[in-house]
Amino acid sequence: MSDPGPGGDAGPDFDAMTRDIADVPAVEVITTVAVHLMSAAAVKLGLAEDGAAHKDLDEARKLITALAGLVTAGAGEVGSYHAAPLRDGLKSLQLAFREASEHPDEPGRGPGEAYTGPVIG
């Protein structure tokens, strides 16, 4: 247990969190992070409910590029069973970004395409 903080609230129990994360396989951590990046990118692309209120293509570009790096680097580690749907989701986001852009990037210059190569519908 943690000592109570200044307001009497107990802070995070870092020992318990360390034990918990130690039990999680790397494949699960990688795929979970990828799903979070995908979800955040979709929101920033305006694909969520009330999409226009959250649309921010600059932020979406950053998230998609980070996702592309993770998927590209991690594909060999997570195996094709997990990597294939991650690649599909990434490609869908890259295409959605191109569609949402007023001035689409040239093929090979879109978010994450430095890692994946040009993405064409």
Q: In this predicted model, what pLDDT tens digit does every residue of 25-53 receive, in sequence order? A: 999 999 999 999 999 999 999 999 888 89
| Residue 54 within any structural domain of the chain | yes
Reported pTM? 0.83
| Residue 9 within any structural domain of the chain | no
Q: For residues 49-65, give the mean pLDDT.
A: 94
DSSP states along 44-61:
HTT-STTHHHH--HHHHH
| Residue 2 within any structural domain of the chain | no
Rg for the chain, CA atoms, rounded: 18
Q: How many structural domains compose the chain? A: 1
Instruction: Give residue 83's domain range.
Output: 14-116
Q: What angle do CA 56, 109, 37 make, to 5 degrees?
A: 45
| Residue 55 within any structural domain of the chain | yes
Question: Which has more pLDDT, 92 or 48?
Answer: 92
DSSP-assigned beta bridge partners for residue 10: 4
